[in-house]
Amino acid sequence: MQSIIANDLGTPERKSGKSISLEVNGVQVTVPEGSSVMYAANVAGMKVPKLCATDNLEPFGSCRLCLVEIDGRRGYPASCTTPAEAGMKIRTESPKLADLRRGVMELYISDHPLDCLTCPANGHCELQDMAGVVGLREVRYGYDGKNHLHEQKDESNPYFTFDPSKCIVCSRCVRACEEVQGTFALTIDGRGFNSHISPGQMQPFIDSECVSCGACVQACPTSTLMEKSIYEMGQPDRTVTTTCAYCGVGCSFIAEIKGNSVVRMVPNKNGMANHGHSCVKGRFAFGYTTHPDRILKPMVRQSIDDRWKEVSWEEAIAHTASEFKRIQQKYGRSSVGAITSSRCTNEETFLVQKMVRAAFGNNNVDTCARVCHSPTGYGLKTTLGTSAGTQAFDSVMDADVIFIIGANPTDAHPVFASQMKRRLREGATLIVADPRAIDLIRTPPHIEASHHLQLRPGTNVALINGIAHVIVTEGLANDAYANERCEPQEYQTWKDFVSQPKYSPEAVEKITGVPADTIRGAARLYAKGPNSAIYYGLGVTEHSQGSTMVIGMANLSMATGNMGREGVGVNPLRGQNNVQGACDMGSFPHELSGYRHISDAKTRELFEKEWGVKLDAEPGLRIPNMFDAALDGSYKGMYIQGEDFVQSDPNTQHIEAALRNMECIVVQDLFLNETAKFAHVFLPGSTFLEKDGTYTNAERRIQLIRKAIPPVAGKADWEITMDLSNALGYPMQYDHPSQIMDEIARLTPTFAGVSFEKLDKLGSVQWPCNDSAPEGTPTMHIGKFVRGKGHFVLTEYVATDERTSSRFPLILTTGRILSQYNVGAQTRRTENVMWHEEDILEIHPHDAEHRGVIDGAWVSVASRAGEIVLRARVSERIQPGVVYTTFHHPDTGTNVITTENSDWATNCPEYKVTAVEVTPVSKLSVWQEHYREFTDQQEALLPGKMGS
Amino acid sequence: MKTAVYVPRDSSALSIGAESVARAIRTEAAKRGLEIDLIRNGSRGMTWLEPLVEVSTPKGRVAYGPVSAKDVPGLFEAGLLNAGAHALNLGLTEEIPYFKNQERLTFARVGITDPVSISDYTKTGGFVGLANALKLGGDQIIKEVTESGLRGRGGAAFPTGIKWKTAYDAPADQKYIVCNADEGDSGTFSDRMVMEGDPFLLIEGMTIASLAIGATHGYIYLRSEYPHAERALNEAIATAYREGYLGADIRGSGKTFHLEVRRGAGAYICGEETALLESLEGKRGEIRYRPPLPAVAGLFGKPTILNNVITLASVPTIFEKGPGFYKNFGMGRSRGTLPFQLAGNLKRGGLVEKAFGITLRELLYDFGGGSYSGRPIRAVQVGGPLGAYLPESQFDTPMDYESFTAVKALLGHGGLVAFDDTVDMARMARFAMEFCANESCGKCTPCRIGSTRGVEVIDKIIQNRNREANVELLHDLCDVMLNGSLCGLGGLIPYPVLSAVRHFPQDFGIARNGK
């Protein structure tokens, strides 16, 4: 069913420097060259009837409703497939055209159920609309002919149904799966009258290659592919445009709402990050927002062994404030701190760090970027001058060589992966550096990496140095660019450094396990470009040399001149919806918004003036330091907004011990998450549907989220922080988050031009947005690096301390899966669990056989930090000597075994390298037994539950 | 010297025992201690005489036919090797009027040579055209093709020179030549005969086309039901590579052309050029919209010359004998010759290559000998399953594109299927619609649903259910299919259907005025 606010130009907008003018029904119209006649007609305000055409798919020409007459041409060309030409004279209506269109519609309806009144698409069905438009009055064929009216529905997918009796075989779903999503899960089976949609090889949807992105459902003009929510709830009656709260792609969505219930989320065609596409999470997995597990009343308790007591907001806030004051009085000003949330808005994040600095009077604020992309901030700031990616997502459409390092876009950033796949289908080549064979290595029919650098975990820096070695020693570097745009002396030093024999491909092969020839091939391809772009993820950052590797990639990009234009750059694929924003907003203990160091007196002065307080010049505690301080007794109180580090941070048992040593842990969240089990105050948070604000995605794009329904628990997260600050004695008064953004803009040069009003008008802007770039900056470093000259830094490879041994001979590396998101707090509370009920350990057949591990059996995974038990999958995706799992399920406890090793510069944990041993077992680990017991105990302490 | 004996390897001969005849001849000769040179030639195209055995004599080749294996001992007894008298002796092959009265340009070699012998080919003028073309630039090659007046023989009759020019003018790093050998029209077999009987001719034609536009790769898209053609083509292609007529440096010219045979998967629709390209790319055989034309964006999106077998096989003659020679045949805007294929209820079925302009009646009676059943011929479908049915009153129509268009008929690929007066033309109209329903790719609505509804409507007419309204509906439906379909399948099926209604209304139970 089409969007309830559908506006469809029929065929895609064409980009062309040349415009052409033509005449439609006597109206003069000018369109870009390459536009279709249908597009021109629509621009001229003349609707041409259509069914198989839609403006996010290439024209197809099958329905034959859009026939027109063109002066000087024989017959009745289809307007969707006929290119507009200068001087054309087109008629979209004539008696003959009316006859033909009625004739076509008569055929359609002769094989369509006449149940419009009980059809879920009633009123928003394109077939129904077109029957009206062409004026069909009777179906002379009768209804007793051959038909598809008794075909069986496929209800296997949890989110949508497929009803072939309603299908008009327009192929929009098939084409959406190919062109938009790039999965090719659908096809037409049979021919002629027997043509029908076939998922996979005539399988139910759920068993096919379908990834439930929803592109087909969105493309369907009838109710053949239809959200189950519309079957259940009926049609929405209003819409709110907002931004997805899952990953860092930042898809724009139109929430279609009825009363205060979201009926469905439809990806926004005008969304600059997603261009109307979506994935299974953003499109369908919003059921958590109404899940019964949500905690809707503030709760307090004295000890974590006590029952929770529901209290009023006032009581909860007053209690928290008095506890924090008491703690600071007893243990000192630095004994409290806070964690901002990468899931919350820029405004909310800004307020939390403001409260810490202004009300707590210290700088003990950190954010989850600490454990994901802090090395990105450090590395890119050091080399280029900006703590963020260099390009817009759309830039990939100009890339000739795409180099993915330590990222798995089809699972973790699916909508951008679809765009990337589109570019690969157009002919760009792909290099992947990953220990595991991710889907992009080879996905028939169209995706295949030309080089897979299947390195040993922990050897990234050696690999990048090896690639640089080939480029420099073979004279493939862009000396002219590097000498002009960077410090020439530094550049030469770097060249000498990487040219050392110890970084020759042969030497690097010994370290990384990647064949020397593969390194050479990849290096030459990257250097050849002409446009080579690097995209990377946590496989780069979450290492003891995470920052070094970020610098290494920036070096490589500068040396080859792949910076400062479309199609190139170094681009982090950031994990959380607002992790970029959380970093931008001054969530780190050493930085104020816009990445300005707290020790800088001038910056401090600016904030002190605005906030009316004196700021501490000393950086505060980082997350791991907070845990250490908690263990040594100097850190006692913590306000945690929308973050669950007990599940997400490494070495769980260490964190648990730290939290048990604290006196007031305040968790503000939707659910009783793992961290909340150790909390003393629970403040119910609001979902992205319940508040206004902005998120900043991986391409620095600031987009609005808009309040679709009122906060279910009564307050938006920013209001809670504001109340707490007021109770602490530091006054904050905002009526709307837009006022917070105004304050951010006043205090942050890169945000100076940002306002809600502008975002509302433009849809989005990419920072820096200020007087010199009033509409934002899609591409960074054009003409000149932000820091002036590009800064080459030497990247010596230093092996991690985490080494395999006879006791722990395998390396565990962790990652993500499409259907689940991060700690799974949201996605586990949706039907997405169908695809991933538990975390699984992937192990190579060789290692499995050696240990007697059978596919599907329980195995223990033990490291020096701890032990967990989970099911094994024997798979050749992973190389011998390496095992892989995810951390989406808290009862798995994946982070029980990860260690305290971390990046030398930023303390980002080394999640990607843990030495482990795998053994077949038949029962859960000790930690897991304790976990279950503890969880049962904590759940029993919730109000309304029976228990102690 | 050994006596040459010819037994065709053509499918039409093989299907009625040519293989056992050949075996019997070999056995019989050995038994009698006679040395023979048994040559497996193509077919002479007189299918009613197959298997047609020929023996070479100083006066020329003498024909015997139709020969079965059990006739062989008797033939030897009668002195076969000396062209001895026998009931099956037909005299000199080339004096048989059916053969003698043809104008064989494209089929000049077919039935005469050993199809896979490159020396036979070169001895009979083969590769002279290629040698001449190698001396010309692409633009000059295209000029000569244009001058010859050659038009596409697949049915659409599009001027070949213009098509080649379009592909020539389209800038690209890669271009292709594709031969449409998915000969699926009912009653047609000329493509098959030339591929089985003279495969080098097609190779030569495609190579010249490749020179014209600078294509380095070519594909022959062959219908799966042609295993013998596939064998002959592959054998000839291998030989051509070996002898330097294909490959990286054609006859030392520095030009490259690689050629391979790709087998179709049994869909009539893949004879339509864009569906063919989709199929060749490994996709579902479905029509592409035009523009862009395949000449601009064809195989794998690259400029592609896509021509029928006969079109490409006509090219070597043009370059061997000159465009003027070729152009001198034919009438009006239809130049050269067309291999007509006589089938259906005819006494003498077979292949007749004649210049355009011969009348339908001449083909049916002078060549075809009238109906096989001896009853009057009532209707002829010309141009395959999408061609119109012509009644006796139109038998004097000259066989040329424009004359046929004038009577709302198609010349198509030159196939004729004759019916005597026992035919029920309402059934034939239904058959046409049903054919469309069976073969529709399913992409466009008029054809996908319309063809099925068409069958139902004709059934209602036949059953006299609301006949008058249904005849009107059939006309409306045909109008939607004709004007609305994406390709020629749905777009042309109204021809046979409406021609049956128009010329034979009584078979539908309606008066001539349609009531």
Q: Which of A67, A104, A192 sits opposite B442 (nearest CB)?
A: A192
Residues A460 and A565 in one domain: yes
Boundary residue ending a domain (A697, A722, A744): A744
From chain A, the residues in CB contact with B457 under 8 A are 141
Q: What phi and psi values does residue A102 have, to the nearest 5 degrees?
A: -65, -40
For testing the chain B interface, which of A107, A189, A196 should be mutated: the one with the most B CBs within 10 Å? A107
Indicate the pairing of strand A225-227 with strand A196-199.
Answer: unpaired
- Residue position matching structure tokens 């064979």: A437
* Amino acid, single-letter form, for residue B451: S
Residue B511 pLDDT:
79
CATH of the domain at A908: 2.40.40.20
CATH of range B118-327; options 3.40.640.10, 3.20.20.30, 3.40.50.11540, 3.20.20.140: 3.40.50.11540
- Residue position matching structure tokens 């001969």: B13
- The burial class, CB within 10 Å (0-12 / 13-18 / 19+), for A398 is middle
Q: Do B479 and A194 touch (CB under 8 A)?
A: no
Residues A511 and A465 in one domain: yes
CATH of the domain at A109: 3.10.20.740
E strand residue ranges, A303-369: 309-310, 336-340, 365-367
- Residue position matching structure tokens 């190919």: A178
Domain that includes residue A446, residue range = 374-572
Residues A832 and A889 in one domain: yes
Mean pLDDT of chain B: 96
Q: Judge contact between A223 and A241, C-beta under 8 A.
A: no
Topology of the domain comprising B425-508: de novo design (two linked rop proteins) (1.20.1440)
The DSSP bridge partners found for residue B211 are none
Residues A550 and A589 in one domain: no
Q: Which of A103, A141, A191 sits opposite B440 (nearest CB)?
A: A191
CA atoms of B262 and B283, how far apart (whole Å): 13
For testing the chain B interface, which of A37, A52, A62 should be mutated: the one with the most B CBs within 10 Å? A62
Residue B513 pLDDT:
57
Closest CA to B13 of B191, B193, B137: B193
Q: What are the sequence ranges of the domains in chain B?
A: 3-100, 118-327, 334-420, 425-508
pLDDT at B233 over 60: yes
* CATH architecture assignment, domain B334-420: Roll (3.10)
The reply to whether A34 touches chain B by the CB within 8 Å rule is: no
CA atoms of A154 and A182, how far apart (whole Å): 22
Q: Which of B269, B451, B483 sits opposite A75 (nearest CB)?
A: B483
Residues A653 and A523 in one domain: no
Residues A536 and A426 in one domain: yes
Q: Is residue A144 part of a domain?
A: no
Residues A368 and A385 in one domain: no
Residues A837 and A928 in one domain: yes
Residue A946 pLDDT:
53
Q: Which of B289, B448, B457 sits opposite A192 (nearest CB)?
A: B448
* Amino acid, single-letter form, for residue A562: N
Residue B512 pLDDT:
62
pLDDT tens-digit profile of A631-665?
Answer: 999 999 999 999 998 888 888 889 999 999 999 99
The reply to whether A82 touches chain B by the CB within 8 Å rule is: yes
Q: Do B444 and A64 touch (CB under 8 A)?
A: yes
The reply to whether A76 touches chain B by the CB within 8 Å rule is: yes
If contacts are CB pairs under 8 Å, which of residues 97-126 in chain A contact chain B?
99-100, 103-104, 107-108, 110-111
- Give A346 to chain B, closest Cα distance, Å: 47
pLDDT tens-digit profile of B188-222?
Answer: 999 999 999 999 999 999 999 999 999 999 999 99
Quick one: average pLDDT of B406-426? Answer: 96
Q: Is residue A672 part of a domain?
A: yes
Greatest alpha-carbon span in chain A: 91
pTM, full prediction? 0.94
The two three-digit tokens of residue B421, written as one number:
């007066």
Boundary residue ending a domain (A545, A572, A599): A572
For the range A504-508, what are the long-range contacts, defined as Cβ-Cβ under 8 Å and sequence gap of 24 or more? Answer: A504/A466, A504/A469, A504/A473, A505/A466, A505/A469, A505/A470, A507/A466, A508/A462, A508/A463, A508/A465, A508/A466, A508/A469
CA atoms of B414 and B432, how far apart (whole Å): 18
Closest CA to B317 of B99, B157, B154, B160: B160
CA atoms of A580 and A247, how far apart (whole Å): 11
Residues A511 and A659 in one domain: no
CA atoms of A718 and A729, how far apart (whole Å): 17
Residues A437 and A346 in one domain: no
Q: Do A146 and B289 touch (CB under 8 A)?
A: no
Residue A945 pLDDT:
64
For testing the chain A interface, which of B470, B480, B492, B493 should be mutated: the one with the most A CBs within 10 Å? B480
CA atoms of A889 and A206, how far apart (whole Å): 22
pLDDT at B383 over 90: yes
The DSSP bridge partners found for residue A822 are none
pLDDT tens-digit profile of B432-480?
Answer: 999 999 999 999 999 999 999 999 999 999 999 999 999 999 999 999 9
Q: Judge contact between B261 and B196, C-beta under 8 A.
A: no
Residues 6+ apart with CB under 8 A from B69: B17, B20, B21, B23, B24
Quick one: average pLDDT of B229-247? Answer: 98
Residues 6+ apart with CB under 8 A from A336: A324, A327, A328, A360, A362, A364, A635, A636, A637, A638, A639, A664
Q: Is residue A892 part of a domain?
A: yes
Quick one: average pLDDT of B221-242? Answer: 97
Residues A396 and A356 in one domain: no
Other Cβ atoms within 10 Å of A517 Cβ, number: 12
The reply to whether A75 touches chain B by the CB within 8 Å rule is: yes
Q: Which of A65, A78, A107 sits opposite B449 (nearest CB)?
A: A107
Q: Do A192 and B291 touch (CB under 8 A)?
A: no
Residue B183 is given by DSSP the state -
Residues 6+ apart with CB under 8 A from A183: A177, A209, A210, A211, A213
Residues A565 and A587 in one domain: no
Count the domains in chain A.
Answer: 4
Q: Judge contact between A732 and A321, C-beta under 8 A.
A: no
Domain at B3-100: CATH code: 3.40.30.10
Query: What are the helix (H) ranges across B199-285?
Result: 199-213, 227-242, 273-280
**A-to-B residue pairs, Cβ atoms closer than 8 angstroms:** 108
pLDDT tens-digit profile of A114-169?
Answer: 999 999 999 999 999 999 999 999 999 999 999 999 999 999 999 999 999 999 99
Segments of chain A with pLDDT less than 70: 945-948
pLDDT at B430 over 50: yes
Other Cβ atoms within 10 Å of B362 Cβ, number: 18
